[in-house]
Amino acid sequence: MDNQKISQSIQSLVASAPDTRSLMGETVALLRHELPHYHWVGIYLLDKGELVLGPYVGKPTPHTRIPLNQGICGAAASSGQTVIVDDVNTDPRYLACSLETRSEIVVPIVRDGHILGEIDIDSDIPAAFTEQDRALLEEVALILADKLSVKG
């Protein structure tokens, strides 16, 4: 599936998923399945000033709650900007989840200027994430932003 098809499929999940949690779960599963360089795909939701792990596909992570001043996840949420890290081992912000991980992209989910959460993807391949990944995931984040509720 090309990126346009992936985005369309996620858009159609909005209509078919029974609730937001299922929509997020089906979205991470679809991304993981369609994009072989996406080894860990998850969604964190902002809840009472912390990022709380929601649906994900991949190995369990110890980072189920991340304060906004920690990690690449915290950096993306507090700046409201997508963060791409080509080599996680040289980024002092990085919170390790799996020893195999080499690169990461984190895309905030924003509605009306409020951060609702973020899409976090790890790859075992160095510098795996391109501008095409950024464009796709920012589109997916917009689709999800429309459906998620604000928790702060």
User: Of 143, 111, 137, 112, nearest to 37 (Cα)?
Assistant: 137
Is 27 within 8 Å of 8 (Cβ atoms)?
no
The percent helix, strand, coil of the chain (3-state, each to 5) is 35, 25, 35
Q: Which residues bind ligand SME (CB under 6 A)?
A: 40, 42, 61, 63, 66, 71-73, 94-95, 97, 104, 120, 122
CB nearest ligand SME: which residue? Answer: 71
Least distance (Å) from ligand SME to the CB of residue 62?
A: 8
Return the sign of the alpha-carbon dihedral for residues 5, 39, 66, 28. Answer: positive
Instruction: Give residues with Cβ within 8 angstroms of 44, minimum separation 6.
Output: 51, 52, 53, 54, 66, 73, 77, 117, 118, 120
Output 7 or 88, the one with its CB closest to ligand SME.
Answer: 88
Output 55 or 71, the one with its CB closest to ligand SME.
Answer: 71
57 is written with which tokens? Answer: 């596909």
Least distance (Å) from ligand SME to the CB of residue 65?
A: 10
Least distance (Å) from ligand SME to the CB of residue 59?
A: 9
Output 7 or 107, the one with its CB closest to ligand SME.
Answer: 107
Least distance (Å) from ligand SME to the CB of residue 72?
A: 4
Output 7 or 54, the one with its CB closest to ligand SME.
Answer: 54
